Structure 1
Amino acid sequence: MGILGDIGHFIMVPLYYIISAVLIGWHKLFTLLGLDPEGGAAWALSIIGLTLVIRAALIPLFVKQIKSSRNMQLIQPKVRELQKKYGHDRQKLAEETMKLYKDAGTNPFASCLPILLQMPIFFALFRLLDQAAKHNKAHGFLTENLARQFGESEVFGKIPLADSFWGATPWGAGADNGAVVAVAAFLVLAMTATTFTTQRQLMAKNMPADAMTGPYAQQQKMLLYILPVAFGLGGVAFPIGVLLYWTTSNLWTMGQQFYVIRNNPAPGTPAFKAKQDRDKAKAVKHPEKYASYDAVAEADAIPEPEQRPAQRVQPKKQTRSQRKTGGKPGTGTNPNKGGTK
C-alpha cells in the first residue's frame, strides 16, 4: 500500500469512527422523532447535524483564526516599513518579517487552518457515502444495514444523496437525471456563493484601509476568487450529501463571522465605525444605561498599545571634582548639604 497509503489509513480510520458515531446519533434522534429510518430526510438532517457538531468543536480554532487575522491586518504598516528598509536583502526581510509575526502572535497561514482541518473530515464523509452506495460497505460504527440505508437514501423521493452532478449526466457516464442535476447544481452554486461571500464579508468590513494594500491584501484578494472557483469545479464530482455538508458549514462560517465582526470588529475598519455609531445611538436613546459611555465604552473598544519595558537611563559621566562635591557642574553645590560650599 505504500507509506502514503499507510498515513492515509492512519488518519481516515479514526475519522470513520468519529463521523459515523455522530451520524448514527443524529439518525437515531430523528428516527425517534418520527422520520423514516431508511428515508433520505433522516440521513440528510443527520449530515447537517454532523456539520453543526464539527463546527461547534472548531469554535476555539475559529477564535484563534480571527485574532491572528486581525493582528495580521494591524501590523501591515510595519510590514511595509520592513519592505522599504530591507527590500534589497530578501533574506533579512524574511527574517525580520517572521520576527514581527512572532512578536505580534500571528501567523499568515492561520486563516487557512479551519479549511485544512475540515478537509480530512470532508473526504471521510465522501468515502463513507460513496462506499455505502456502491458496495454497501460499512465503515466505523456503521453496520451493513445502516450502510445500505445511508447509501440508498433519497431526498424529495427520487434524488439519492450519493449521486453527484457529474454522475447524473450522460457525459459523466451516468443516467440522465434532471432532478439530480438541478439539486446538485443548486448546491454547487450555493457552496461557491457562500465561500465567496464569507471572504468578501471579511475584506469589506473588517480590514483597515491601510491593510488593503501590500502582499497580505493581494493574498486575500486572490483567495477571494480562487477558493470559490476551486470548490465550484470540484463540487460537480461531490455527492449531494457531501455538498450539503459543505454548504451548511459555509453558512455556519458566515453567521459566526458576522457575529464576531459586528460585536468585536478590528480597530480602524468600517465595522468598527459602525459599532461605534450603534453604541452612540444606544447611549442617546438610553442615557441611563450608557451614562459612562464616552469615558469607558470608547476606551474599551480601542485595544491598548503593546507595553514595552522602560529603558534604563544611564547616568551622565561626572568629573572628579563633581564626584567629590556631589554637586552640579559649574555650581559647586552639594545636594546633600544646605547652602553653598
Structure 2
Amino acid sequence: MDLFSFPPISATLDAAYALLMALASLLEPITGGASAAVAVVILTLLVRTILIPTGVAQAKADQTRARLAPKLQLLQRRHKDARERLQRETMKLYADEKAYPFAGCAPVLIQAPVVGIIYTLFLHTVIAGHPNDLLTEQVFSVPLGASLIGSIGNGSLTLPAVAVFSVVILLIVAVAEITRRLLRPAPTASASTPGGEGMLRLVGVLQFSTAIAAAFVPLAAGLYLLVTVAWTLAQRLILRRRFPIEPSTRQA
C-alpha cells in the first residue's frame, strides 16, 4: 500500500497543494514565473510566525539550562561513580526547578512534518489522484521539484541550476557560520565531563547539516530550509536579548 494514498495523509497533501497553488495564482501577476517559489517562502514565513511561542519556550529553556549548569556540575562530581543515582538526582533537580530537560524541542518536532509535506509535494507526479502541476513551476529556469544531487545523478544539471543551488546552499552555510559564531553553545556541565568538549564541537558541526540536506531535497524544500535558518537566527538573536544568559552563569 502506498503510504501517501492513506486518506489522512492524502487529504493533508491535497490541502497543502491547493494552498500553494492558490497562493501562487494570487502572486503570479506580481512575481510572474517565480510565483510558486515565492509562495513557498510566504508559507515558510507563515509557519515560522505560528511557531514564535515555541521559539520563546526554547529561549527560556536555554536560559534555564545555563542557570542550572553549576548545580549539574556539582551533581556530576558528587555522583560520578553512580550513574543511576546521578540520573535520579538530575531529574529531581529539573523537577524542583520546574524545568524540563527537553524543553524547546517543539520547533524541530513541528517543522519536521512541514518539511516532509513540502518535500513530498515536489517529489510525486500525482497528488491525491490528480496531476501535480507544482512540478512544472520553475525559478530562474530551474524546476522546483529538482534537487542538486538528483540533477547530477541523471545528467540534467544545467548552468542556471548550478547557480541557483549554489546560492541557496552557500546562503545556508553563511547563516550557519553566523549562528555558530554569535550563538556558540555555552560551556555548561557537559563541557566539564569526559568528551564534553567534543560534544560542543559536534554541535557546531551540526549547524551545517542543513546545507548538506539542501543538496538532496527538491529546490522548493531547499528554499524552505533557507528561510527557516535565516528566521531562526534572527529570532534567537532577538530572544537572547529578552532572555539573556548571564556571563557569571555561563562561566560557573
Normalised-by-shorter TM-score class:
0.7 to 0.9
Corresponding residue for 1:114?
107
Q: Which residue of 2 aligns with 1:188?
A: 169
Question: 8 Å contact 2:73–2:189 — kept in the other structure?
Answer: no
Q: 1:101: Cα distance to partner? A: 1.9
State how 1:129-208 maps to structure 2 within 5 Å.
Answer: 129-131=122-124, 135=125, 137-139=126-128, 144=131, 147-148=132-133, 150-156=134-140, 158-169=141-152, 172-203=153-184, 207=186
Deviation of 1:234 after TM superposition, in Å, equals 2.8
More helix by share: 2
Q: 1:76 touches 1:210 (CA, 8 Å); kept in 2?
A: yes
Q: Does 1:223 align with 2:203?
A: yes
2:68 maps to 75
Whether the 8 Å contact between 2:67 and 2:249 is mirrored in structure 1 is: no
| 2:29 pairs with 1:46 | no
User: Are positions 1:26 and 2:19 aligned together?
Assistant: no
Q: Distance in 2 between matches of 1:248 and 1:213?
A: 31
Count of matched residue positions in the alignment of Structure 1 and Structure 2: 248
- What RMSD, in angstroms, separates the aligned Cα atoms of the two structures? 3.1
Q: TM-score, normalised by structure 2?
A: 0.84
Higher RCO (CA-CA < 8 Å; seq separation 6+): 2
CA deviations over 1:227-260 (Å, ceiling 9, x no partner) = 41x3333322211111111100111111111111
Q: Which of structures 1 and 2 has the bigger CA Rg?
A: 1
Segments of structure 1 that go 5 or more residues without pairing to the other structure are 272-341
Give the Cα separation in 2 of the matches to 1:10 and 1:223.
Answer: 39
The 5-angstrom pairing of residues 286-301 of structure 1 reads none
Change (3 A) 1:249 1:95: same
Gap change, CA 1:92 and 1:11, over 3 Å in 2: farther
Taking a change above 3 Å as real, the CA distance of residues 86 and 211 of structure 1, as seen in their structure-2 partners, is: closer
Matches within 5 A, 1:302-313: none
Distance 1:102 1:199 in 2: 31
What secondary structure is seen at the aligned counterpart in 1 of 2:247? coil
Retained in 2: the 8 A contact 1:167–1:237?
yes
Percent pairwise identity = 26
C-alpha contact 1:196 1:225 (8 A) present in aligned 2: no
TM-score normalised by structure 1 residue count: 0.64
3-state SS in 1 of match to 2:91: helix
Counterpart of 2:146 in structure 1: which amino acid?
D
Tell me the CA shift for residue 174 of structure 1. 2.5
Q: Is the 8 A contact 2:142 2:161 kept in 1?
A: yes
Task: Determine if contact 1:191/1:243 at 8 Å carries over to the other structure.
Answer: no
